[in-house]
Amino acid sequence: MSIINEALKKAQQSRKVEKEKQRVQAKAKSNSTTDFSSKPAPTLKPQPIEKKSEPTKRSDFIFTWKMASIVTVLGLLVIMATQNYQREHAVNTPVVDAAAKPQNKVKITFDGVFLADDMRVALINKQSMHIGDILNGMKIVAINQDTIDLQGDTGIIQLRAGATYLL
């Protein structure tokens, strides 16, 4: 029985020690959270208000705006240069050689006219034609909004857009 009594005494002592530790910890917690009388109340010091740098943000905006403007202008200049290059280097390919006279009548479909600034293009047989090009032995002398004029041996013939002719 002595072994059992000794084990019970040890268990009781360890419980007492643990209870004492818990009591000390609880007291320490309660002192740290609820004991305001020992410490003076904190005073709030006025903090200096930092001014946001408006000129910096505005200058960033102005810089961005200027860069966007420059990029836009450069893009437009590239587009204009490309259009001028295409206009200057357009290849005029006649459908029929000027010296060759056709023996048979040929079906000609005049689809329409494209007008851009000083450039006029007629769409004939799904090919673009310009003033001075030769079509079936006849020279294109005028391209109007919805007609073209062809000059041949017999005189000037006017063709209307959206029609098919045998010439």
Read off the CATH number of the domain in which 152 is found: 2.30.30.830
Give me the pLDDT at residue 142, please.
Answer: 92
Whether 120 is covered by a domain: the verdict is: yes
Q: What is the mean pLDDT of each run of 10 residues along the chain (167 residues)?
A: 78 88 82 57 68 65 88 88 71 49 76 85 90 90 91 90 86
Whether 112 is covered by a domain: the verdict is: yes
Domains contained in the chain, number: 1
Give me the pLDDT at residue 93, please.
Answer: 47
Whether 158 is covered by a domain: the verdict is: yes
Whether 58 is covered by a domain: the verdict is: no
138-143, strands of its sheet edge to edge: 134-135, 138-143, 147-152, 155-160
Give me the pLDDT at residue 133, please.
Answer: 92
Domain membership of residue 159 as a residue range: 107-166
Whether 80 is covered by a domain: the verdict is: no
Residue with tokens 């943000």: 57
Give me the pLDDT at residue 150, please.
Answer: 92
Give me the pLDDT at residue 26, please.
Answer: 82
Query: Which burial class, exposed, middle or buried, applies to 125 when counting CB atoms under 10 A from its CB (0-12, 13-18, 19+)?
Result: middle
Residue 89 is given by DSSP the state T
Give me the pLDDT at residue 118, please.
Answer: 79
Give me the pLDDT at residue 70, please.
Answer: 92
Phi–psi pair at 157, nearest 5 degrees: -115, 135
Whether 156 is covered by a domain: the verdict is: yes
Whether 115 is covered by a domain: the verdict is: yes
Give me the pLDDT at residue 54, please.
Answer: 57
pTM, whole model, 2 decimals? 0.39
13-37 as b/e, with b when 16 or more CB fall inside 10 Å? eeeeeeeeeeeeeeeeeeeeeeeee
